[in-house]
Chain A
């Protein structure tokens, strides 16, 4: 391995760029200076903490530790999905729909990758399990958040159209057809674009990382292709599940549109 180590001074120079950007946005009155700095600070603190945690976990591969970290990641992802909704479902559903569908899709896909495809020894080896879950869960989170946001926003905006279709004797599935398609579309477009642009417009981060770490490019590429497919599957199943559950929650047993269930 011939990675060049970077120090605090090197990070500081990169941070100066962000500070410069923040100052510029303040001068332009874009109103983003503060959130830019706060999120840059969050990146620093969160990643440093994760580094410490990973260091500890990698040093003793314990399945309970891995499970615990996976659950914390899931709960935080669920919180992010909820926080990004302008009109979220009220009560436990607001948190539950996103978290549950992310759990089903990204945990299944990650387990499949660990047990069947990559097969590290032991299968829960944190060096594989945690980054893999992180990438799949992170992308699934984006897809689920976009899809749920689209679903609830469109249902709210187009409530009169939905009800007009119900009034004409359409069932809930038919009446929601266009909105369901648009929501799924919104959730899946990022990963479809990422797959279409991979290697041409952008070099995916994980592959770049492996190459920087000194791995042969073809090995890095194979891993990246695998990851892309896993991410697509995780995002896709998560998005479909979230939209399906969300649609069901938007209607009651007599197929009435229940926007009062949105907070």
Chain B
């Protein structure tokens, strides 16, 4: 059962978005869906503070302003729909060139030596999730994390996120267009009707 008070968002708004409010509990995954262009990605970007926005956001009772921007983004971490890579090899993107959960997504340790340029889009997506989890985030903001994956890898990603959230008492906001997936992974479902309106729907 979810327990109280992980991420509290009150009247989050920007030029294009909101005001939107949202409470995410410890151990909870919320599925966020809605038509394309409704502002789901914008909402995630605003929460992790990549775009100018206003409103009150607190992680475990500590206001966002009290974190350095870098620390905040590591704690309330966004996995974009198309993750970017900058160095030559996969391993260079991981802290200390190591990753603890490779096998959970079907990779062996040799993957850290692979060239980024030769990764498939699905591999990039799965590795980007692992890369993000190495920072030990408290909240995962996942923007269609299985969009490029086959059913087997989709299942692996769902299992990994669920176990991460449960084991570390974290939480996740999971953007998906797939209603079945939403029901599989989430305790609650929120529909973003447009950039100003969010509607709670039963799971």
Contacts and interface: CB of A to CB of B under 8 A. Distances in A.
Contacts of B71: 169
Given A254-B49, A256-B52, A164 B135 contact: no
A169 B50 contact: no
Contacts of B8: none
B12 interface: no
A252 B52 contact: yes
Contacts of A254: 49, 69
A171 interface: yes
Contacts of A67: none
Interface residues of A, number: 20
B83 interface: yes
Most buried by A among B68, B79, B80, B86: B86
Contact of A257 (B50, B83, B131): B50
Nearest to B94: A168
B85 A167 contact: no
Contacts of B85: 161, 164
A168 B131 contact: yes
Contacts of A171: 68-70
Interface string A15-33: 0000000000000000000
Given A168-B131, A255-B68, 9 more contacts: A161-B85, A165-B86, A166-B69, A166-B73, A167-B50, A167-B73, A169-B70, A169-B71, A254-B49
10 contacts: A163-B84, A164-B80, A166-B50, A168-B73, A168-B131, A170-B70, A171-B69, A172-B69, A252-B52, A256-B52
Interface of B: 48-52, 68-71, 73-74, 77-80, 82-86, 93, 131-132, 135
